[in-house]
Amino acid sequence: MKLQTRQDRLRMFLLGGCIGVLAFLCIFGFSSLDLSNVAFARGGYVEKDIQQHYAGWLFFRDSSWQFPLGVADNMNYSDGVSIAFTDSIPLFGVLFKLFSAWLPDPCQYFGWFSLWCYFMMGGYSILLLNLFIEKVLPCALGTVLFVCSPILVERTLHHTSLAAQFFVIYAIYCYFRSDQEKKLYIPWWNILILSIHPYFVPMTYAVTLALVIRYGQNTGRWLKGFGALAGSLAGTVAVGWLFGLFYTPSTGGSLLLYGYFNLNLNALWNPTSIGDTDPLGYTLWSRFLPVQNQVGGNYDAFAYLGLGVLLTLVIAVIWAIKEYKTTFRFILRHFALLVCMFLLCVFAVSNVVTANGATLFRIPLPQKIQELASIFRASGRMFWPTYYLLFLWAVVTLSRFRKKEWLPSLAIGVLCLVQLVDISPALIGRHTQMAQYQEQNPTALTSDFWTQAAGQYDHLFTLDTDKGDILHLALYAAENDMTTNDAFPARYDAANLMVSREETLNGLLDRIYDPDTLYYTTSEGLFLRIAHYMQDDAYCAKVGENQYVIAPGFEGEVTDAVEYSADYPITIEPLTDGQWDGGVLDEDDCTILLSNCYLVHQLIDDADAIMADGVVYPIVKVEEVKRHWLWVTLDIEDARILKDVVLEAAP
């Protein structure tokens, strides 16, 4: 029978929660529940994002308490930034920081957060199914689908905070319960969304808006419904403010805008997502269906339904056509919900419509609209409420086979079996990857310098950074009790960072520096300019590929670094953009880019030619462009042969 009492609902919720916990443990094992096990977080389980989450938590744990609660004052130094922008789950970060003195060091909470998400996912999924299915067994079997959904497993311990997809299920549950009982059940969990991840706000509030409209249609009590909606929104904003979501101006971050991370039209049957559990560089999600092509950032909009759900939806569509009168009544009854889902789907597809490996067309948007939409630039995620409604439709369709009492359970059981067998490559891959994960010094900072410098400095100041080592630098700073100005959070005050870097650079060129600060750059040209002035005050060296340090008062003897000196090897500046290919001008293939610095001028000012690997190349022209660069045109067919080659003045 359908549940009526609170005790019945609680028992069913706990059953679903246990199914969710069991699913989590079967897929990911127990290792992530060890608070002291940080190997998967440091090493970037599945992908590097969890390194960002972990680094944010480390900075926050060691920062002083302040208001707003989620702000860490030792990253984005000295302004600070909320750990909401490192996806470090502010709610859990604050809770764990309260008990930090009793926690191990190092420590991570991402496994326990994920376990909680699976428990809540199972609990609300089974309650949602029970609104349509009376028997416990088919509800429990259907819950297995939800807690093993590809989009949930894909995000778990990867984009960790995005595993809180129970927010979406809870909102859908409140919608259908409100409709069936003609009562107002606002999904009050919405209030906590901004303490987990802001992307759930448009998803759950779209469903909540439909709920309020449907409640008004059922009861005529429009003011009560919209008043509750306004109260929920106010609570959500207040929690976001409390945890620092509005603390830092969001002027920096990814340069990719709305329309890049969009939903490909093949997403429902395309069994690929980003990852590294197979040789092709993506996670394979189907044992039976072939991989489809994608464009740009479609991988982030991963929405594979699974073969079991896809086959069942074919049955569901046939049934809906056959029972067209019932279908039409359902559409009229839930028209507001369907419109909200349609709008979310349109936003997910975006103005750049892609199908397979092609961009079908692009709809130009006014700049203001583009900027506003880019707040949720990973637009493909907005499909998730529709995704789970399709799951619900599939399970409810099979529950209609009632000629025999056991048929719904059998049908849904077959659906689960087909689904799990189909997605088993990914489930096994994720389990194996977590079970075998071992810390192997997963860092790009391999020079002896980093070990010797640990503990010698209070601050790490980056004059620029490269995506390849930005998170490794953040982890290094956090684990060695240093502050960082680095731009590794998803949002930060880009204008302020640019100003502080320019001021610091000008100070270094005037030999004005902080002896407790380690300065870092990825630009050899910038390094050479600074090192010329700072060589008597600091250790100036190349300590890795595109890794250069200015270390005042450094104590140590590094054997694997190239120190700045008069005979420092000069090479082409490895710039690649729309104009340059690794420091070679695309326009003519014979112009190279060199740093406008003292050593380079020593090389070319009195020279008529440059020699590389014993071959002499006459200098045709030297141009000083701005204050940073020298464009040197050589008598050479293709200067790309000079990449990574030491340049010398010709004899």
Highest mean pLDDT among 25-29, 48-52, 63-67, 366-370: 25-29
DSSP letter string, 37-99 = --HHHHHTSSSTHHHHHHHHHHHHHHSPP-SSTTEETTBSTTT-EEGGGGT--HHHHHHHHHT
* C-alpha to C-alpha distance for 283 and 277, rounded to whole angstroms: 5
Q: Which helix (H) or strand (E) holds 108?
A: none
How confident is the model over 132-158, as pLDDT tens digits?
A: 999 999 999 999 999 999 999 999 998
Among 266-270, 390-394, 438-442, 638-642, whose mean pLDDT is lowest? Answer: 438-442
Token pair listed for 530: 């600074």
- pLDDT exceeds cutoff 70 at 39: yes
Structure confidence at residue 627 (pLDDT): 67
Q: What is the pLDDT of residues 396-419, one digit of tens each?
A: 999 988 778 889 999 999 999 999
CA distances in angstroms from 641 to 581, 595, 638, listed in the order given:
12, 19, 7
The pair of structure tokens assigned to 584 is 């070679």
Distance of CA 78 to the CA centre of its chain: 24
pLDDT of 571 above 80: yes
**Per-residue confidence (pLDDT) for residue 467, from 0 to 100:** 64
Mean pLDDT of 278-306: 85
**392 pLDDT higher than 90:** yes
Radius of gyration of the chain (CA): 29
Sign of CA dihedral 479, 431, 170, 7: negative
- Given a cut of 70, is residue 279 above it in pLDDT? no
* Residue 510 scores a pLDDT above 60: yes
Query: Helix (H, G, I), strand (E, B), or coil: what is residue 151?
Result: helix
Q: Are 261 and 380 in contact (CB under 8 A)?
A: yes
Give the per-residue pLDDT at 58.
95
Confidence class for position 280, pLDDT limits 50, 70, 90: very low
Residue 282 has pLDDT above 90, yes or no: no
Q: Which of 49-53, 272-276, 614-618 has the lowest average pLDDT?
A: 272-276
Q: What are phi and psi of 193, to 5 degrees?
A: -55, -45
Q: Sorting pLDDT into bands at 50, 70 and 90, what band is 468?
A: low
Q: Reduce the secondary structure of 327-384 to three states and give it as a string.
A: HHHHHHHCHHHHHHHHHHHHHHHCCEEEECCEEEEECCCCHHHHHHHHHHCCHHHHHH
- The yes-or-no verdict on residue 276 having pLDDT over 60 is no
Task: Give the sheet arrangement for strand 591-595, strand by strand.
Answer: 580-581, 584-585, 591-595, 629-634, 615-625, 609-612, 647-649
Of 194-198, 348-352, 548-552, 613-617, give the lowest mean pLDDT range. Answer: 613-617
Higher pLDDT, 444 or 497: 497
- Percentage, residues of the chain above pLDDT 90: 68
With cut-offs at 50, 70 and 90, classify the pLDDT of residue 94.
very high
For residue 366, name the pLDDT band (cuts at 50, 70, 90): very high
Sign of CA dihedral 6, 9, 13, 14: positive
Average pLDDT over residues 74-97: 92
With both helix axes pointing from N to C terminus, report the angle between 307-322 and 324-333 in degrees, rounded to the nearest 10: 100
Does 68 sit behind a cis peptide bond, omega within 30 degrees of 0 on the bond before it? yes
- pLDDT at residue number 496: 85
Give the per-residue pLDDT at 278.
45
Terminal Cα-to-Cα distance of the chain (whole angstroms): 95
Q: What pLDDT was estimated at residue 1?
A: 43
- pTM score, whole prediction: 0.91
Q: Kindly write down the DSSP assignment for every residue of 452-487, as one continuous string.
A: HHTTT-SEEEESS--TTTHHHHHHHHHHTT-EE---
Question: Tell me, what amino acid is at 529?
Answer: R
Does 553 or 401 have the greater pLDDT score?
Answer: 553
Tell me the average pLDDT across 12-26: 97
**Mean pLDDT value of segment 192-216:** 97
Q: What is the mean pLDDT of residues 376-385?
A: 96
pLDDT, residue 465, reads: 77
Q: How much is the average pLDDT of 273-296?
A: 75
Rounded distance, CA 256 to CA 260, Å? Answer: 7
pLDDT greater than 90 at residue 486: no
pLDDT digits (tens, 9 = 90+) for 612-637: 888 899 999 988 876 678 889 998 98
Q: Which residues of 267-306 are buried (b: 16+ CB within 10 A; e: fewer)?
A: bbebbbbbbebeeeebbbbbeebeebebbebbbbbbbbbb
Mean pLDDT across the chain: 91
The pair of structure tokens assigned to 396 is 């409810």
Strand, coil or helix: 562: strand
List all residues 6 or more positions away from 530 whose beta carbon is below 8 Å from its beta carbon. Answer: 463, 505, 508, 509, 519, 521, 540, 550
Residue 2 has pLDDT above 60, yes or no: no
Given pLDDT bands bounded at 50, 70 and 90, which one contains residue 442?
Answer: low
C-alpha to C-alpha distance for 592 and 145, rounded to whole angstroms: 58
pLDDT of residue 253: 54
Task: Phi first, then psi: give them for residue 141, nearest 5 degrees.
Answer: -65, -40
